[in-house]
A and B are shown apart, each in its own frame.
Chain A
Amino acid sequence: MANIEWFNDYDRGLNRAREEGKPLFLDFFKEG
């Protein structure tokens, strides 16, 4: 099993994406 290191905050993820020059993969999920 592989582990993905998710950001759980959109703005923090976007900042990281800009720093790394990568696009963002944004997954909206719902509990249950």
Chain B
Amino acid sequence: MGAVTYPDKQVARLLDHHFVPVQVNIEEADDVAKRFQALWTPNLNMIDDREKRFYHVVGWLPPSEFVAMLKLARGHFLLSREKFDEAATILKDVFDEFPRSIYAPESLYYMGVCRYKASHKVEYLKEDWIMLQRFFPGSEWAMKSNVSGG
């Protein structure tokens, strides 16, 4: 991560702007590693002010996937704070900017959730989930959004 991903300008800008970045050696920070059940590195944890982990990734990501993941994680954070419109906007960014990202299907799923939560209009949820099933039919998120499947 330190050789390729963290030196990337967009990665650094997003991390500094929306998060407080903390890096600890897994072998030295034993108590913290145990608290978050960290067994393997890279191990990326997004944690709120009550120390609740709201997103978690294990393994290396290239810069573009990292940026998509960070935006998705920010979407989850805003959703947990009930800032539905703001969350939907950043989740839409993931799909618009990184349509081939491994994080695009999950972003579309939660975009529908946020738009529904903001409006209570089920049409918005259906619209986003139909798009999800059209663009990412083989993804786990398309399966999870297939409410007519039983």
Q: B22 and A10: CB pair below 8 A?
A: yes
Name the residue among A1, A17, A26 with the largest chain B CB count within 10 angstroms: A26
Q: Determine the residue in chain B with the shortest Cβ distance to A2.
A: B12
Chain B interfacial residues counted at CB < 8 A = 39
How many residue pairs bridge A and B at CB < 8 Å? 122
Chain A interfacial residues counted at CB < 8 A = 27
Minimum CB–CB distance from B65 to chain A (whole Å) comes to 15
B: residues with CB less than 8 A from A are 1-2, 6-9, 11-13, 15-16, 18-27, 29, 32-33, 36, 38, 41-49, 51, 54, 70, 77
A: residues with CB less than 8 A from B are 1-10, 13-14, 16-18, 20-31
